[in-house]
């Protein structure tokens, strides 16, 4: 990741990797919020079998657990995951943001979202100082962001293995 974050033309795959790790973290956070360990084990089994997650409704029917539902929950707990997730999605899904030489990915965010991303980078990673950082400058912070997300994910997985629940 250190090399990808700084090599020319690798910002898009770097952000895609970051988004994939965040996606895993969001799923683990969702699992930690489930108090019923049988339901939790059922979702984990669905993962191992390559099935989409589903949950029982109050009427006894099955409904799909959506990414939106998981992201909303994680964002209530973390406060920053929604913005990073949406920002990363633009690099996973086909979009104009793959043409990084002429598009500023932060420019596609609202002023509030852009401020949140910059605040996160400043608070946890020491920068950038500019309110309009270049893509190259953002690339310098991505390895640290990935380390933070990966470290949080590892801690959450340990909590999951111990049978803990999120509060």
Is residue 97 predicted with pLDDT exceeding 70?
Answer: no
pLDDT band at 39 (very low <50, low <70, confident <90, very high): very high
Q: How far is CA 122 from CA 18, 58, 92, in A?
A: 18, 43, 25
> What residues contact 166, with CB distance under 8 A and at least 6 apart?
29, 32, 33, 77, 159
pLDDT band at 9 (very low <50, low <70, confident <90, very high): low
Does residue 167 have a pLDDT over 70?
Answer: no
| 136-156 average pLDDT score | 86
Average pLDDT of span 99-116: 69
Residue 4: per-residue pLDDT? 57
- At 43-92, the pLDDT tens digits run 999 999 999 999 999 999 999 999 888 888 877 766 666 666 666 665 55
The reported pLDDT for the residue numbered 133 is 84
């Amino acid at each position: 990741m250190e090399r990808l974050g700084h090599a020319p033309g690798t910002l898009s795959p770097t952000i895609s990797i970051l988004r994939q790790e965040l996606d895993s973290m969001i799923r683990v956070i969702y699992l930690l919020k489930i108090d019923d360990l049988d339901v939790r084990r059922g979702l984990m089994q669905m993962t191992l079998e390559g099935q989409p997650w589903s949950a029982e409704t109050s009427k006894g029917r099955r409904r799909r657990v959506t990414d939106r539902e998981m992201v909303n929950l994680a964002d209530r707990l973390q406060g920053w995951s929604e913005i990073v997730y949406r920002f990363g999605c633009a690099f996973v899904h086909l979009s104009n943001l793959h043409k990084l030489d002429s598009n500023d990915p932060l420019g596609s965010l609202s002023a509030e979202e852009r401020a949140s991303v910059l605040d996160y980078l400043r608070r946890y990673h020491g920068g950038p100082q500019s309110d309009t950082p270049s893509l190259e400058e953002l690339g310098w912070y991505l390895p640290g962001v990935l380390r933070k997300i990966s470290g949080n994910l590892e801690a959450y997985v340990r909590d999951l293995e111990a049978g803990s629940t999120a509060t």
